[in-house]
Amino acid sequence: MLVIVCAVASTVYGHVPDADRVQKAIAENNVSSGRQQAVRLEMNLQMGERMGVAHAELISHPTGLARLELRGAGHIVERHLLQGSELTVSRNGELLEKFRTFLLPFFILQSESALQLRAALETFSVQVDLVGLAECGEYDCLVLGDPQRVVPRPEVPPIAGLESFEPEAELDEASGDEADLADEPAMERGPAPPVDEAEREPVARLWVDAQSYDVRGIDFENGVSMRLGPVVVFDKLRVPAWILIEEPGKATARFDVLRASQVNAPASAFTREWLLAPIERPTSLGGAGGFALPPGE
């Protein structure tokens, strides 16, 4: 029997599954969380230290469509439409050239298969076959897509005497005795190399809780980072309690989730017609005094 011993000296050492297994586990967690159909989140927006900037409604479809409506003081309505990785924003029915990235691609949390998840991540240029391990707050996270966080496999020394070894019998491919690689345990790997975030270009990557496989964050190539809070439950629907968005040179934005539900939202609900539609007067989601959206940037 060959035994490989890996020294473990910190939390970034450890058990790192293969990329396919990670993607499958994330998709299974999405389904068990009740997010495999269209979802609606009602939220409040905080900008930096400014509380109550706007009421927000996010609607997301697992096919790669999401929209966000923000309602602030003065009947200001800002709409964000995400179709795959293409983001378009309007304010009071007029397109904005400069805007904040407020819309989480929530459909990543709705992918119900590894293939669907892989396609969604590749849309944002995540290198889905790269898996690393790192600390993320109170958790240990698997990190998909970051080449500098990939945990290298230990080199296995050659075994002497194999040249004289002859297997007793060849496996019969049709017999069903061949080992199922999907059930093989993942290898223990050494630590990821240190990463100096201040000296590197932004990288698209996904942060996933190494125990629960809940998505904890998404980073984009434009430097925007989104972090997701712990899971809360609304009538069996599990969603992040908050969404934190950091963008270089901008105030941190935080969306606190007030309510969440499954909804019927066809593809026709995610169009430029909605984005540019005339703005109605305040509804139950908007018009509260004191909410003031910042100007388009």
Model pTM above 0.85: no
Is residue 199 in a domain? no
Q: Which residue has the tokens 């968005």?
A: 245
Is residue 90 in a domain? yes
Q: How many domains does the chain have?
A: 1
Is residue 295 in a domain? no
Is residue 255 in a domain? yes
Could you tell me which residue, 285 or 75, shows the higher pLDDT? 75
Domain of residue 239, CATH code: 2.50.20
Is residue 8 in a domain? no
Q: How far are the Cα atoms of 44, 80, 190, 223, 284 from residue 89, in angstroms, in the given order?
A: 19, 4, 44, 19, 22
Q: Is the confidence at residue 136, as pLDDT, over 90?
A: no
Query: Rounded to whole angstroms, how far apart are CA atoms 45 and 91?
Result: 16
At residue 285, the pLDDT reads 42
Q: Is the confidence at residue 1, as pLDDT, over 50?
A: no
The radius of gyration of the chain from alpha carbons, rounded to an integer in Å, stands at 23
At residue 77, the pLDDT reads 96
Identify the weakest region by mean pLDDT among 91-100, 155-164, 281-290: 281-290
Is residue 13 in a domain? no
For 145-183, how does the pLDDT look when each residue is reduced to its tens digit (9 = 90+)?
999 888 766 665 666 655 554 555 444 444 444 334 334
Q: Provide the 8-state DSSP code for 251.
A: -
Domain range for 268 is: 22-154+189-194+204-274
Contact present, 257 and 104 (Cβ < 8 Å): no
Could you tell me which residue, 162 or 211, shows the higher pLDDT? 211
Is residue 288 in a domain? no
Tokens representing residue 33 in the block: 């969380």
Is residue 108 in a domain? yes
Identify the weakest region by mean pLDDT among 156-165, 202-211, 251-260: 156-165
Query: Rounded to whole angstroms, how far apart are CA atoms 35 and 164?
Result: 55
Q: Which of 128, 131, 152, 153 is nearest to 142 (CA)?
A: 131
